[in-house]
Amino acid sequence: MRERGYTVTEQPVVDDRVNVIATVGATEPEIVYSTHIDCVPPFFPSRVEGDTLYGRGACDAKGILATEIMALDRLRDAGETRVGLLVVVGEENGSHGARAANRLSNRCRYLINGEPTDNRLGAATKGAYRVRLSATGRAVHSAYPELGDSAIEKLLDALIALRDLDLPVDPVLGATTYTVGVLSGGVAPNVVPPGAEADVNFRTVEPAPRVRERLDASLPGSVSIEDVMVVPPVRLTTLPGFDTAAFSFTTDIPFLTSWGQPLLVGPGSIHVAHTAEEHVKLDELVQAVDLYEKLARDLLAATS
């Protein structure tokens, strides 16, 4: 960005990782494009096959970053100085870059956040609520299970009870869902297990405490519940004339509240992000440049 003539600030976040803020001269922007530079593992290299770009980050979100920079270039070349770019680290693991950026003072009125939405404006995104269920038992020789207390059996009772939870439903975002993502327990096949844990990730449409109330009321008391992560659901800014949709994934937006009203849009499909087939159509990238430019112009015209 410095080589392209922008004023660039590097904000230290953690270890040697930094957020990057790029502006047109010394002007504090009113419209800021944003996305994240980190990707999920494992890495696999980029390639172009026909009309499609494959590779880690193709749509989540380095391809998006490229289109945002192109849109920013167009606006600057046309004499617009009220626009900028915020690139954060760590979105895929805790959003520590966004949390750090939120402490910066700014005059931003609208944040156009880039994630793969098939170039549709996000009307809303679900939240995420992760809990750890833990059970404790007593280890004994497996030949005499009656003398012990199986932590895994207790945990299984709780996981079965999850299936009967009456979880919230929203008319825009749909149903609250959950995934049992990680299971662990036991010490050996011939020992009654003294401990067991499960990490459960809810995709929420209401505040997390409402889900926690249901867990407390429905799961057996032999299992403890620990809150691990909470990301709230978000209602987003939309504009007339743009395709819109609601999305079940979460973004950095809940942690960038000091950066103005949020919009969410980007090329590529979330269904191929994080997969071994991550890709994006080249013409969708080109369309995204036009889309990002038009969004910024419409927002600037509305604020003039």
* Residues designated as active site: 91
List the end-to-end C-alpha distance of the chain, in Å, as a whole number: 27
Rounded CA-CA distance 207/121 in Å is 23
Count the Cβ atoms, other than its own, within 10 Å of residue 132.
15
Backbone angles phi, psi at 108, to 5 degrees: -65, 135
Backbone angles phi, psi at 111, to 5 degrees: -110, 120
Rounded CA-CA distance 222/151 in Å is 9
Do residues 152 and 72 lie in contact, with contact meaning Cβ atoms separated by under 8 Å? no
State both tokens at 158. 């709780």
Count the Cβ atoms, other than its own, within 10 Å of residue 123.
17
At a CB cut-off of 8 Å and minimum separation 6, what does 92 contact? Answer: 36, 38, 39, 40
